[in-house]
A and B are shown apart, each in its own frame.
Chain A
Amino acid sequence: MNNDDQLLQVNGLNIAFSSRNGSDNYIVRDVSFSLNKAEVFAIVGESGSGKTMIAKSLMGLLPPTANVRGGSICLAGQELSTLKNKQWQQLRGQAISMIFQEPMVSLNPSLKIGYQLCEAMRYHTDMAAADIEQRALYLLTKMRIKDPESCMGKYPHEFSGGMRQRIMIASALMMKPKLLIADEPTTALDCIVQKEVLDTLLAVCQEEGAAVLLISHDLGLVAHYAQKILVMQQGAVVEQGEVDGVLKTPQHSYTKKLLAALPKKIPRQAEDRNQKLAISVQDLCVEYPIRRDWFWQQQQATRVLHDVTLQLKKGETLAIVGESGSGKSTLGRAILQLTPVSHGSINVNGVDITADQGPNFRTMSQEIQLIFQDPYSALSPRRTIAQTVAEPLLQQSDISKSEINSRVISMLAEVGLGAEYASRFPHQLSGGQRQRVSIARALINRPSIIVADEPVSALDITVQSQVLKLLDSLKTKFGFSCIFISHDLGVVEQIADSVVVLYHGRIVEQGSNEEIFTNPAHPYTQQLLSALPELRSVAEDSYQLHQRHCTEFDYPEGYCVDDGAVNKQRCMLDISDNHQLACIKT
C-alpha cells in the first residue's frame, strides 16, 4: 500500500468510561484501521457498538468521563490521541470536520445561516470577508441549494431536514478538510432525500479531495456508497475489508447475522382471501386548522388527506407507504379516531365511526388497536410492565385479579418476554423489548385489526427482524388484519400483501405486493424504489448490490400522469387485476 495515499491510521485504539468506583468500562477495544485519501470508509454496527465513540475520539469530542486509554490515532503524520484542547481547536474544522445525525438540532437556531457558515473560516484564517462569503456561496450551490444568496440571510427553521443537513455539510467543507466524518447523516431523513444528500455529499467530497468516514447502521447505504467497510460489535472489530468482498464472502458470524437480518422478499402464497372487508375508507379528507391571528378572522384549514379511498380485507396486511408529510400517520390516526375527519367515511368492522359526533373509544377498543412508532414514549414511565399490559383488561368489569395476572403472564410469554419482566419499569428494558410490550398491550384483548405505525423504524436491524418475525407469527396465530405504515420499502416488501403509496396526502398507486414492486407505474413510486439501495442475496451468505430499473408507464388514451396539478379531474385507473394508478383525465 502506497504510504503517500494513507491519510488516517488508527492502531489499537481503546476508549473507556471511568466510573466512580474506579473500575473502567471499555466501550472500544483494540480497534485498528487505515483510511486513504479521497476514499469513502464506512463503519457499520448496531447501537452500542462504539462507532460514534470512535468518531468523537477522532475529533477530540469524547464526553468528559470517557478517554482514550491506549493506542494511537495518526492523521497525516500527526498523532491525535495526545493533543491538548488548544491544539484540537486548530485541527477541528480545518483538517477534520464532522456532521451529525440530527439535522433539526445541529444548526444554531438563533444565528443566520451565513454567519454560521463563515464562522470557522473567520476564526482560523485571515481571509477577507468577501472571499469567505464567496466560498460559502460556492459550496451552497454545489450542495444544490436553490438561491444561495437569500439562503445566507435566512434562519435554520426556514429549511426542511434535508436542506439543513446539506447546509451542515457545506459548513463542514468550508475549510477544505482532509477528512469528513459523517455520523449517520441521513438516518433521520426519508429515502429520497437521503439519496440526494448522500449523492451530493460524495460528489463534492470527491471534487474537494476529502476522505469520508461514513458511520451507519444501514448496510444497503454502505454497499452503495463506500469502498471499504469495518464491522463492529460491542466495541470490537469483527471484520473489515473492501465492501464488495465483505458482502460477497462475509467471514465472521456477526457479519453474516447482520446481512441475514436485512429484510428480504419472501415469496407469498396467493391466499384465497374471503372478500369480507375489515376496514373500508371512502373519500376521506382530513384537515388541520391553521392558527389564526384574530378571533374574528375565518378559521382556515390545511388539507392533509385528499379523497383517500382504500380497503383492508380480513386477514391481510396492507402497507401504507410514503415519506414524511405524506399523511400516512394521519391516515392511521384517523382510522383509530384519534384525529377528527372533515369529509368522507371510515367503516371499521361494519361500524361507521365517522357517523357519531365524537370519538367512541370504548366499543372500538376491542376491535382495533395501535402499535406506536417510538418504543420510548409508548409506555408510561411510572407504571410497571404488568400494569401497562393489564390495563386493557380492566375495562371488563367481571374479571378477577388472578385471571388478569395469568393472562398478562401468558401474553408476555407470547411476545417472548419471561415472567420476570412483569415487575420491571420501561427504563430497564431495551428498545426492542419495549416494542414487544407495546405489542403485548395491543394484542391482549385479541382485536381483529392492528394498525402498526412504523413499529420498527426506531430499532436496530437485528432487533427489527426479530420484531417483524414476532408480528408475523402472532398474525398467523391470532389471525388479525394489519395496516402497516412505513417509509422503509425493504420492510414493506417483506411483510405486506397489498401496498398503498401516498404522496402529499393522495393515493398515487395501490396494488398487490408483486405488482407494485415489479411494475411500479407512477413516477413517484419509481423514484421511491430507485432510491432504495437493495442488497440481494446471490447465494448462501453472499450478497450483492442490486439496482432496480423502472420503465416509464405507457398511459392509455385520454389519461396522463398525475403530477399534483390542482383543478384537474383525477381518477384511479385499473392497470391490471391488482393494480391501480392515479392519473388525470385529459
Chain B
Amino acid sequence: MAALKRMLSLARLSNGLLGSALLLLVLAMSLLGLLFSPYGTIEVDFLNRFAAPSLEHWFGTDEYGRDVFTRVASGTFISLRVSATAVILAIVAGVFIGAVSGYFAGWIDRIAMVIIDSIMAFPGLLLVLGIMSALGPNEAGVIIALGIAYTPSIARIVRGSIFSLRETDYVDASRLIGNSEWTTLFRHLLPNCITPIVVISSSIFTAALLSETALSFLGLGVPPPEPSWGSMLADSRNYLVLNPWLGIFPGVAITLTLLGINLIGDALRDRWDPRAETP
C-alpha cells in the first residue's frame, strides 16, 4: 500500500516535468525544422507528390509536394501564437471586468454581468464564427474572437475572488490610509486573486488551441497558404486511406502540445490551488 502510494506520488511530481518535456520537444523540433529545413513551407514540388516518410522528407510530402515536416513545424508557431495572444487578451479583459464589477458592485456589476452572461449563453464555436463573420477571415479576427469567447470565464472567477476578499481587514486598512478605491483594488485585492487565474489559464489555453484548430479545419481560421494544423488535417481527409501520414503527423503534433499544456496546468494547480492543503 505504501509502495503504491509512493509510486503515485512520484508520478504526480513529474506531471510538470512530463508536460514541460513534451512541450519543449514540440517546440524544439519545430524550431529546428524551421531553421534548418532545406524546404520552404509553401515550396511545391510536383515531381514528388505523396512521398512516404523517408530520410529526405521526414514526414513525407503532401498533394502539392510540400514537405510535411516543415509545414507542421511552421504550423506550431502560428497556432501557438494565435492561442497565446487570445488567452492574454481574455485574461486582460476578464480581470479588468471582473475586478471592477466585483469591487464596485451595484449597477456596474449588474450591467457587466448581463454582458458576460450573454456572451456565455452562446455556444463557443458559434460565437467565434459570428464574430469572425463580422471581422473577416484573418489572423487578427481569430485572435479577437477567441479572446472574447474566453473572457467570461475569467471575469467570473475574478469577480468571485474579489467578492470573497473585499470585506477583509486589509482592504479597510488601505482605505483608512487614504488610498483611492482604484489603488486599493489594484494594489491590494488583485494580487491576491491571481492564483486561480494562473491555474485556469492553462485549460483556457488548450481550449483556445483546439478552437483555433477547429476553425482552421472548417476553413475559417488563418487563411491558406499559411500552414495550420487544422487546415492540414482538413486537406488530408481526401487522401487518408492511401497516404495516412498527411493526417497522422499534424494530429500527433496537436495531441502532444495539448497534452503537454494540460500536464503543466495540472502541476500548477497541484502546487498553487488555494484549497489544497500544504502538508
Q: Do A and B come from one complex?
A: yes
Question: B192 contacts which chain A residues (CB < 8 A)?
Answer: 380-382
Q: Complex Cα distance A381/B191, Å? A: 9
Residue of A338, A374, A381, A395 near B175 (CB, 8 A) is A338
Closest chain B CB from A34 CB (angstroms): 35
Closest chain A CB from B155 CB (angstroms): 21
Interface residue tally for chain A (C-beta within 8 Å):
24
| Interchain CB contact under 8 A, A395 and B173 | no
Question: B188 contacts which chain A residues (CB < 8 A)?
Answer: 380, 383
Question: B37 contacts which chain A residues (CB < 8 A)?
Answer: none
| Interchain CB contact under 8 A, A365 and B172 | no
| Interchain CB contact under 8 A, B169 and A377 | yes
Q: Complex Cα distance A392/B174, Å? A: 9
| Interchain CB contact under 8 A, A370 and B170 | no
| Interchain CB contact under 8 A, A365 and B177 | yes
Q: Complex Cα distance A331/B170, Å? A: 19
Task: Tell yes or no: B176 within 8 A of A by CB.
Answer: yes
Closest chain B CB from A16 CB (angstroms): 15
Residue of A361, A374, A379, A381 near B176 (CB, 8 A) is A361
Question: B174 contacts which chain A residues (CB < 8 A)?
Answer: 380, 391
Which DSSP category, helix, strand, loop or mixed, fits chain A's interface? loop
Question: A362 contacts which chain B residues (CB < 8 A)?
Answer: 178
| Interchain CB contact under 8 A, B176 and A365 | yes
Task: Tell yes or no: B168 within 8 A of A by CB.
Answer: yes
Question: A374 contacts which chain B residues (CB < 8 A)?
Answer: 169
Given contact pairs A65-B279, A382-B191, A372 touches B169 in the complex (Cβ within 8 A): yes
The interface bits of chain B over 248-279 (1 if a CB of A lies within 8 angstroms of the residue's CB, else 0) are 00000000000000000000000000000001
Closest chain B CB from A454 CB (angstroms): 12
Residue of B170, B176, B178 near A338 (CB, 8 A) is B176
Question: A338 contacts which chain B residues (CB < 8 A)?
Answer: 172, 175-176
Q: Complex Cα distance A391/B172, Å? A: 13
| Interchain CB contact under 8 A, B175 and A441 | no
Task: Tell yes or no: A13 within 8 A of B by CB.
Answer: no
| Interchain CB contact under 8 A, B170 and A391 | no
Of A373, A378, A379, A380, chain B has the most CB atoms within 10 Å of the CB of: A380
Task: Tell yes or no: A369 within 8 A of B by CB.
Answer: yes
Closest chain A CB from B7 CB (angstroms): 15
Question: B175 contacts which chain A residues (CB < 8 A)?
Answer: 338, 359, 361
Q: Complex Cα distance A89/B129, Å? A: 60
Q: Complex Cα distance A568/B177, Å? A: 42
Q: Complex Cα distance A382/B177, Å? A: 18
| Interchain CB contact under 8 A, B173 and A372 | yes
Residue of B170, B172, B178, B191 near A379 (CB, 8 A) is B170
Question: A359 contacts which chain B residues (CB < 8 A)?
Answer: 175
Closest chain A CB from B161 CB (angstroms): 13
Task: Tell yes or no: A20 within 8 A of B by CB.
Answer: yes
| Interchain CB contact under 8 A, B279 and A20 | yes
Find residues 375-433 in chain A having any chain B CB closer than 8 Å to their own CB: 377-383, 391-392, 395
Given contact pairs A20-B279, A382-B191, A395 touches B177 in the complex (Cβ within 8 A): yes
From A376, which residue of chain B is reached at the shortest CB distance? B169
Question: A372 contacts which chain B residues (CB < 8 A)?
Answer: 169, 172-173
| Interchain CB contact under 8 A, A441 and B173 | yes
| Interchain CB contact under 8 A, A361 and B279 | no
Task: Tell yes or no: A336 within 8 A of B by CB.
Answer: yes
Question: A378 contacts which chain B residues (CB < 8 A)?
Answer: 169-170, 173
Q: Complex Cα distance A377/B172, Å? A: 10
Number of A-B contacts (CB under 8 A): 51
| Interchain CB contact under 8 A, A391 and B177 | yes
Question: B170 contacts which chain A residues (CB < 8 A)?
Answer: 377-380
Q: Complex Cα distance A372/B174, Å? A: 12
Q: Complex Cα distance A359/B175, Å? A: 10
Closest chain A CB from B20 CB (angstroms): 23
Question: A20 contacts which chain B residues (CB < 8 A)?
Answer: 279
Q: Complex Cα distance A392/B178, Å? A: 8
| Interchain CB contact under 8 A, A370 and B176 | yes
Q: Complex Cα distance A165/B178, Å? A: 41
Question: A370 contacts which chain B residues (CB < 8 A)?
Answer: 172-173, 176
The interface bits of chain B over 176-214 (1 if a CB of A lies within 8 angstroms of the residue's CB, else 0) are 111100000000100110000000000000000000000
Question: A336 contacts which chain B residues (CB < 8 A)?
Answer: 176
From A65, which residue of chain B is reached at the shortest CB distance? B279
From A365, which residue of chain B is reached at the shortest CB distance? B178
Closest chain A CB from B138 CB (angstroms): 40
Q: Complex Cα distance A373/B178, Å? A: 20
Closest chain A CB from B144 CB (angstroms): 32
The interface bits of chain A over 357-372 (1 if a CB of B lies within 8 angstroms of the residue's CB, else 0) are 0010110010001101
From A453, which residue of chain B is reached at the shortest CB distance? B169
Find residues 120-179 in chain B having any chain A CB closer than 8 Å to their own CB: 168-170, 172-179
Of A369, A377, A379, chain B has the most CB atoms within 10 Å of the CB of: A377
Question: B178 contacts which chain A residues (CB < 8 A)?
Answer: 361-362, 365, 392, 395
Q: Complex Cα distance A373/B168, Å? A: 11
Q: Complex Cα distance A392/B183, Å? A: 13
Closest chain A CB from B215 CB (angstroms): 38
From A387, which residue of chain B is reached at the shortest CB distance? B187
Of B175, B177, B191, B192, chain A has the most CB atoms within 10 Å of the CB of: B177
Question: B279 contacts which chain A residues (CB < 8 A)?
Answer: 20, 65
Q: Complex Cα distance A50/B70, Å? A: 65
Question: A379 contacts which chain B residues (CB < 8 A)?
Answer: 170
From A391, which residue of chain B is reached at the shortest CB distance? B177
Q: Complex Cα distance A374/B171, Å? A: 13
Q: Complex Cα distance A396/B53, Å? A: 70
Q: Complex Cα distance A277/B51, Å? A: 95
Closest chain A CB from B182 CB (angstroms): 14
Q: Complex Cα distance A336/B177, Å? A: 11
| Interchain CB contact under 8 A, B177 and A392 | yes
Closest chain B CB from A389 CB (angstroms): 11
From A17, which residue of chain B is reached at the shortest CB distance? B279
Closest chain A CB from B192 CB (angstroms): 6
Closest chain A CB from B111 CB (angstroms): 16
The interface bits of chain B over 27-55 (1 if a CB of A lies within 8 angstroms of the residue's CB, else 0) are 00000000000000000000000000000
Question: B179 contacts which chain A residues (CB < 8 A)?
Answer: 361, 391, 395
Q: Complex Cα distance A383/B177, Å? A: 15
Q: Complex Cα distance A336/B192, Å? A: 25
Q: Complex Cα distance A223/B99, Å? A: 52
Q: Complex Cα distance A381/B192, Å? A: 7
Of A361, A362, A369, chain B has the most CB atoms within 10 Å of the CB of: A361
Question: A382 contacts which chain B residues (CB < 8 A)?
Answer: 191-192
Closest chain A CB from B6 CB (angstroms): 11
Question: A441 contacts which chain B residues (CB < 8 A)?
Answer: 173
User: What are some 24 contacts across the A-B interface (CB < 8 A)?
Assistant: A65-B279, A336-B176, A338-B172, A359-B175, A361-B175, A361-B178, A361-B179, A365-B178, A369-B176, A372-B169, A372-B173, A377-B168, A377-B170, A378-B169, A380-B170, A380-B191, A380-B192, A382-B191, A383-B188, A383-B191, A391-B177, A391-B179, A392-B178, A395-B179
Going nearest first, the 3 A-B pairs with the smallest beta carbon separation are A365-B178, A362-B178, A382-B191
Extra contacts, 7 of them, besides A378-B170, A395-B177 (Cβ < 8 A), are A65-B279, A338-B176, A378-B173, A380-B174, A380-B191, A381-B192, A391-B174
Question: Which B residues form the contact surface with A (CB < 8 A)?
Answer: 168-170, 172-179, 188, 191-192, 279
